[in-house]
Structure 1
Amino acid sequence: MRIWGMMLLVGASALATGATAPERGYGEADFTKVAKFDAHVHANVNDPAFLEVARRDRFELLAINVDYPDFPPVPLQATIAHAMRASDPKHLQFATTFSMKGFGTPDWTERTIRAIDREVAKGAVAVKIWKNIGMVEKDAQGKRVFIDDPRFDGVMAHLEQRGIPLIAHQAEPKNCWLPLDQMTTENDRSYFRAHPEYYMYLHPEEPSYEALIAARDRFVAKHPKLAFDGAHMGSLEWSVDELARFLDQHPRAVVDLAARMSNLQAQSTADLDRVRNFFVKYQDRILYGTDLTDSPPDPAARAQNPPATSDFPAEADRVWRADWRYLATPLSQRVDAINADAKGLALPRGVIDKIYYKNARRFFSRVR
């Protein structure tokens, strides 16, 4: 009776002060019990084993086609996406892309719109544009093409009209413009050391990080009705404060976490509460994603970031479980990319449910 009376007193005190018990989080054992959505994978192989591990781990997938020279040609990517979606439409959706070939010619806009509509008719739920816009592509006059170029306006108006989301990979991690000894993650340091052609710090003649981000921000402001997904944390992975400013300025935009978890962990090892509070505040604007890439082996292909693996389904399972441990639980784990142990954020269940599932299901269910 004495213990029960004490419990009543504690409960009454909490009610009197307006205090509420903290929401209970998930544990590692909940990983396969919770519906999840990986909003950023590249399935360039029709691999039933990948779908099987996704089903076992309770993941739905968004396979993103992209005009990336180390991937199979875009028409082949599309064929694979169609086949995988047909085999399991419950667990796999796909995003299409478009070619920059002939950009600026009189029929480019209409031709591109027709190509997008054909893929939407086959099930595409979004369109992806890659960093080649801003970092590679030039027009017929040899001028660099940025995302805010008005010659994209007709295509973007069509996406707005049909409710088709745009996934935009613009720029690179800010580390790409920093000296090696100032980079914040080892995976970026090793990648850019091995690939100087992609390392913008060595190419000051190319557009700066700030110029690319400014063009992206002008684009989002110019198209306020567009459902915009900033891939890879909107290339603001280096600062949750900067990313918060972007989300505040563009209230319809969302971002995904693909291939930037170590950048978050670098920040949370220094200030866990800052990162955790960011997730809680912007819980409706964040999509879980990995950038897991299943491509056919090609010894001649340039190494990728993230790298290819000989056992892709096992790698997918490992990555998904490690991310769950970091986001959903308070447990620590070794993260080689930051040469440190990263403590988990232990986000509340309601926040996890949105980031891992509800946000993506809502965002990619817009197409009219």
Structure 2
Amino acid sequence: MSKLALAFAVTLIAFAANADELLYTEADFASVPKFDAHVHANRQGSEFLDIARKDGFELLSINVDYPDFPPLADQAKVAHALKALDPGRFHFATTFSMKGYGGKGWAAATIRHLDAEFARGALAVKVWKNIGMVERNAQGRLIMLDDPGFDPVMNHLAERHIPLIAHQGEPKNCWLPLDQMTTENDRSYFREHPEYHMYLHPEQPSLETILAARDRMIERHPDLAVDGAHMGSLEWDVDLLAKFLDAHPNAVVDLAARLTNVQYQSVRDHDKVRAFFIRYQDRLLYGTDLTDNPPSPQERAQNPPREEGGITAEADHFWRSDWRYLATTGSQRIDALNAEVKGLGLPKAVIDKIYWSNARREFHLRP
């Protein structure tokens, strides 16, 4: 081998070694600080905290006015108790009821309620898809998020620098028949929740109508920090999500319960999806939508679906699978897609932002 060829080979080996050092491995999973910015801890007990501690996660548990969840007061009690149990690891977001909306005093009462929860440690406020899809005014029209009645609450959040977590709309699959949906987890969810399957409800507004109302609200409140839950309901197209982020500098999005929709795209154009994550590395929050709900005869399908072994097995499985996809170049079978999916292999610096520092910045936690 010539000296030139030898030098070239040594350079390639060194480059490969340095490239490897820029990526985390599966073995790094538990040792890297991480933050799941979208879970629902609705049950008393330490199991969720125990597995979060073992796997290196802090949690943001989000209270939400969801019929399959316990009443809002019960969700708040659980959040307060778990916060007291491990205040450095467990965080929570509060919400408000739409009961009485439009009536005299609703906004003032809602602000008082939110301030009381902020005093207990709430870091953010959640608004759910019932706004835009379920709740109606006195005239029978659906209430959209840009309704002026919300303005006093949004102004108050902006003044207090409290982020709004907005889940408006549903996955694009929601407007498709079951046999045309792109992921099995969406298919199973909407099979179990036909009331939210918009393909079955053509009288309901389109996804575009719902998201346009959200975007008008964001534009009207430029000082309000907004976290678009579930990739801002633009999970099916990273190009559209990029346009949303470019148009709204006060917005970030979380990845909760939408990674399979991302993986569907990366199977078809891996480089494009990876480039999106790198370009918007400061605007993405890791989240799962993992739910620890008290069992009851009324309990229905969750997204992601339950696994045997309760929240401990479920959380460990999903966290490790997501880590393999985002942080490494390893492949794994994703049952929701019936496909082998190659990991994005995002650089360590990008992973540290998506999994840690972005959430801590967004929710005003210590550096």
Whether these two folds match at TM > 0.5 is yes
Q: What is the identity, as a one-letter code, of the residue corresponding to 2:78?
A: I
Deviations 1:126-171 (A, max 9, x none): 0001000000001223221000001100000000000000000000
Give the corresponding residue for 2:356: 357
The equivalent of 2:330 in structure 1 is 331
Q: Please name the residue that 2:87 is paired with.
A: 89
Contact 1:42 1:291 in 2 (8 A): yes
Whether the 8 Å contact between 2:185 and 2:305 is mirrored in structure 1 is no
Aligned to 2:286: 288
> Under a length normalisation based on structure 1, what TM-score does the superposition of the two structures give?
0.93
In the alignment, which residue of structure 2 is the partner of 1:164?
Answer: 162
Structure 2: which 5+ runs fail to align? none
Shift of 1:222: 1.1
CA contact (8 A) 2:62 2:94 kept: yes
Secondary structure of the corresponding residue to residue 181 of structure 1: helix
Hey, what does 1:98 align to over in structure 2?
96
Deviation at 1:194, TM superposition (A): 3.8
CA contact (8 A) 1:134 1:212 kept: yes
What does residue range 149-298 of structure 1 map to in structure 2 within 5 Å? 149-298=147-296
CA distance in 2: counterparts of 1:9 and 1:173, whole angstroms: 49
Q: Give the drift of 1:192.
A: 2.0
TM-fit CA distance, 1:187: 1.5
> Using the alignment, how far apart are the partners of 1:288 and 1:83 within structure 2?
24
Deviates more, 1:351-360 or 1:171-180: 171-180
The alignment covers a number of residue pairs equal to 360
SS of the residue aligned with 2:222? coil
Contact 1:173-1:235 at 8 Å conserved across structures = yes
- Structure 1, unmatched stretches of 5+, are 15-19
Separation in 2 of the partners of 1:148 and 1:248? 20
**Alignment match of 2:73 (pick from 72, 75, 78):** 75
> Which amino acid in the other structure matches residue 191 of structure 2?
R
Helix, strand or coil at the partner of 1:60: strand
1:247 is aligned with what amino acid? L
Equivalent-residue separation in structure 2 for 1:137 and 1:313 (angstroms): 35
Instruction: Determine the structure 1 residue equivalent to 2:315.
Output: 316
The answer for the alignment partner of 1:57 in structure 2 is 55
Shift of 1:9: 9.6
Name the SS of the counterpart of 1:99 in structure 2.
Answer: coil
User: What is the SS of the residue equivalent to 1:63?
Assistant: strand
- For 2:235 and 2:97, locate their aligned partners in 1 and report how far apart those are by CA, in whole Å: 27
The yes-or-no answer on 1:26 pairing with 2:24 is yes
2:301 corresponds in structure 1 to 303
User: 1:329 is aligned with what amino acid?
Assistant: T
Which whole-Å CA distance do the structure 2 matches of 1:340 and 1:165 have between them? 37
Q: Which amino acid aligns with 2:7?
A: M
Letter in 1 for 2:190: F
The letter of the residue matching 1:355 is I
Q: Which amino acid aligns with 1:336?
A: D
What percentage of residue pairs aligned between the two structures are identical? 64
* 3-state DSSP of counterpart to 1:217: helix
Query: Cα offset for 1:204?
Result: 0.4
User: CA RMSD of the aligned region, Å?
Assistant: 2.1
* Structure 1 counterpart of 2:64: 66
1:195-249 superposed Cα distances (whole Å, 9 cap, x missing partner): 3322111110011111111111111111111010000000000000000000000
Once residues 365 and 251 of structure 2 are traced to their aligned partners in structure 1, the CA distance between those partners, rounded to angstroms, is: 14
